[in-house]
Structure 1
């Protein structure tokens, strides 16, 4: 397994490509056999601390996050879209936020182009789940699918949840816009989407792994080449602080807190035991490992 790290800065230091400045093209890259995985930035989110920490013991939270330089009141998690290139396939796991969610996000297309990939090059789009920062980047300015030549894939349970007309009324007022936005984008690919279930091989060497709780049908993906593998975890492990130090805590960002916590504990145990690298959508550095640390774990970039 060969791992390299790429860091890019915004502004003129990033260089001029095709007459324009290309900011922050990517974050990290690794080779897995003949497959290349690259974490492509979609920018960052800007969230109140309560989005994750509400209801958690304040002193314990502070003891975990303060040494990391993380605020307990304002969060700016990165958004890392995974790009897989293997053979003739160019695969995206999720599509970022697009321009309509947060002004600090929606940078995927320009950063893909900075990495040499145009939207029409993408052959497959596989969704971990249908939250805004993962699916709202699906449409272009004409409300057409941006990755027009791609095949779209989503877990059957995840699709059914967001497609259900009752979801908008049961998800809670603070997430109603999530449901409306997901349904609008899913309607654009209704006739083209391919469904899958837990354990299915969605592409050669890419197997779906149910990681439910954050959303009802959230999926992770194990990418395997020979004896080597890596896990794309989406938001099943949603941050590098309390999710690792206290994976069993029930956090506010998960829709089903208890189920998500159980999923996170089991996933963390497996990843640490197998020392399997993972790609995290909201983890700084994007590619790393879960290492045992006391009663919990710690995030280690590689």
Structure 2
């Protein structure tokens, strides 16, 4: 038999098996779908604002991660229930780099289609979470979905005064919000902090990473899952060191306070967590360890 083509070129990247993972939440099914990853060069230099490079390097080495770059995964979440198929965040849409954009292929592998999505729930408006709302030409990719957004997040990113005063480097982010949400204006719902989005989906205000960042507590019967969004980035850095301020957090002090509160809650109450930037399959439990926390990844199972 001929060997796979990728195996004959040692320098070429070859794909893994389809990136989806399922588990049960009571009587509902959660499907995590990987979008790929983005690469951050030189994570010891400026990635953590308030830590010495040597401390960041040690944290990376302790986690057996390279120190010359940091790959940051992206994973979206689907929740199937009696009310339809709910999608949390939409990924990069293949528009933020060649190493991401795998959601369409991985959705197909998981037996999911964009037309089936009845609701899209957004944690916050950073580009790696909302670019998948539309294709590169601005056409909506989810023709039947209502879009649910946190009111405070919407208010910030659509404020023309704030946008006009934003640093030049952020102007594109404000324009991107208008472009991504524009096609969905007639089916947009804004929610208050801690609102019930739908039965079994409750918003949890987790501001700091962005002004209106929201996590979501998913429940069915006695089963609970906390969908964190970007309460933390790579767990190898921010779980062990909840006081570290990553460059992506817009209000670092508030983001730290949020992290400590949420980590304490999910560790104390033993609530399973889904992390957008956790290594795939992007879920597990948070336990207290030393002055910080540690992720215990969910075990893989061949049956759901």
TM-score over 0.5 for the alignment? yes
C-alpha distance 204-295 of structure 1, shift in aligned 2 (>3 A): same
Partner SS, residue 125 of structure 1: strand
Deviations 1:261-284 (A, max 9, x none): 110111111010001000000001
Residue equivalent to 1:38: 31
C-alpha distance 213-204 of structure 1, shift in aligned 2 (>3 A): same
Residue equivalent to 2:221: 226
Unaligned runs of 5+ in 2: 8-14, 299-304
Larger displacement relative to structure 2 (57-66 or 252-261) = 57-66
Contact kept in structure 1, 2:114 and 2:143, CA below 8 Å = yes
Partner SS, residue 224 of structure 1: strand
Residue equivalent to 2:301: none
Matches of 1:207 and 1:118, distance apart in 2 = 25
Deviation >6 Å, runs of 4+: 10-13
How many residues get paired?
Answer: 286
**Aligned-CA RMSD value:** 2.2
Residue equivalent to 1:264: 259
Matches of 2:5 and 2:195, distance apart in 1 = 42
Query: 2:74 aligned with 1:64, yes or no?
Result: no
Query: 2:143 aligned with 1:136, yes or no?
Result: no
Q: What is the deviation of 1:213? A: 0.6
Partner SS, residue 247 of structure 2: coil
Residue equivalent to 1:172: 167
Contact kept in structure 1, 2:150 and 2:214, CA below 8 Å = yes
Aligned residue runs from structure 1 range 63-142, under 5 A: 63-142=58-137
Q: What is the deviation of 1:95? A: 0.5
Contact kept in structure 1, 2:49 and 2:245, CA below 8 Å = no
Partner SS, residue 186 of structure 2: coil
C-alpha distance 51-93 of structure 1, shift in aligned 2 (>3 A): farther
Residue equivalent to 1:291: 287
Matches of 2:67 and 2:257, distance apart in 1 = 24
TM-score, normalising length: structure 1: 0.89
Residue equivalent to 1:185: 180
Q: What is the deviation of 1:31? A: 0.3
Residue equivalent to 2:11: none
Residue equivalent to 1:301: 297
Residue equivalent to 1:19: none
| Rg (Cα) greater in structure | 2
Deviations 1:47-101 (A, max 9, x none): 2324632442222222222121223441111101011111241111001111221
Q: What is the deviation of 1:140? A: 2.7
Partner SS, residue 226 of structure 2: strand
Matches of 2:46 and 2:145, distance apart in 1 = 33
Matches of 2:245 and 2:137, distance apart in 1 = 40
Deviations 1:186-220 (A, max 9, x none): 22222210011122110111000001111100000
Q: What is the deviation of 1:222? A: 0.2
Residue equivalent to 1:245: 240
Contact kept in structure 2, 1:98 and 1:138, CA below 8 Å = yes
Partner SS, residue 130 of structure 1: coil
Matches of 1:280 and 1:236, distance apart in 2 = 8
Matches of 1:161 and 1:244, distance apart in 2 = 28
Residue equivalent to 1:4: none
Contact kept in structure 2, 1:167 and 1:179, CA below 8 Å = no
Unaligned runs of 5+ in 1: 1-9, 14-21
C-alpha distance 201-265 of structure 1, shift in aligned 2 (>3 A): same
TM-score, normalising length: structure 2: 0.88
Matches of 2:90 and 2:296, distance apart in 1 = 25
Contact kept in structure 2, 1:51 and 1:253, CA below 8 Å = no
